[in-house]
Amino acid sequence: LQTHPNSTFDIVGYGPQWQRLQALTQQLGIDEQVNFWGWQEHDTVLQLLAEADVFLAPSLHDSGGMAVLEAMAAGVPPIVLATGGPAIMVDDSSGIRVPLTTPRQVVRDLAAALDDLARNPDRREALARGARRRASDLFTWDQHAERLLEVYWQTLYPATPLRPLVTAPRRAEAR
């Protein structure tokens, strides 16, 4: 926040560090720039995403990464740790994956990624487009159903190279 004093952070949801983070923002004198929203209805979360420039998700234990996927679908480039589900969802065209090294280095790398996107709006916009594209191309329910059918087919008929004829209909075709 020292190099980007007009920036704000919105923290949505609760967690074990909630009170500690609130106290830390007051101690550092940045409580005016950090908004703690707590638990919110999904519509409110989507509105916050629509207003966001970047989605920071530094979770070590997020195997699913659905919040990251929602941000991508909203066209908000994510910054994630290179582990778990988010590391699979995000590629170089759709966000930034920070490698797991030492805790100090991870914090430095997360800060550098935020700084990079704050200083480079063209790159941020390119990642936003890539995030939206990647979410719609690879992570829809139709895509998930197609992959699941493939797994079932390979499990039931491992010696058969043919794929099933049944495929999930595209949403546009189903309407």
Where are the strands (E) in 30-157, listed by range?
A: 34-38, 55-57, 78-81, 96-98
Structure tokens at 102: 């030492």
Has residue 167 got a pLDDT over 60? no
Q: Per residue in 19-57, is it b (16+ CB within 10 Å) or e — as a string? A: eeeeeebeeeebeeebebeeeeeeeebeebbeebebbbb
For residue 105, CA distances in Å to 4, 56, 77, 111, 134 come to 21, 16, 21, 10, 28
* 77-110 confidence digits (pLDDT tens): 999 999 988 999 999 999 999 999 999 999 999 9
The reported pTM is 0.81
Q: What is the pLDDT of residue 19?
A: 95
pLDDT at 162 over 70: no
Name which of 13-17, 19-23, 157-161, 166-170 the model is least confident about: 166-170
Say yes or no to pLDDT of 122 above 80.
Answer: yes
pLDDT reported for residue 58: 93
pLDDT surpasses 50 at 128? yes
Give dist(CA 10, CA 51) in Å, integer.
Answer: 10
Integer angstrom CA distances of residue 166 from 72, 127, 155, 162, 170? 29, 34, 16, 12, 12
Helix H or strand E encompassing 12: strand 9-12
Mean pLDDT of 127-140: 92
Reported as a pLDDT band with limits 50, 70 and 90, residue 172 is low
Q: What is the mean pLDDT of residues 3-22?
A: 93
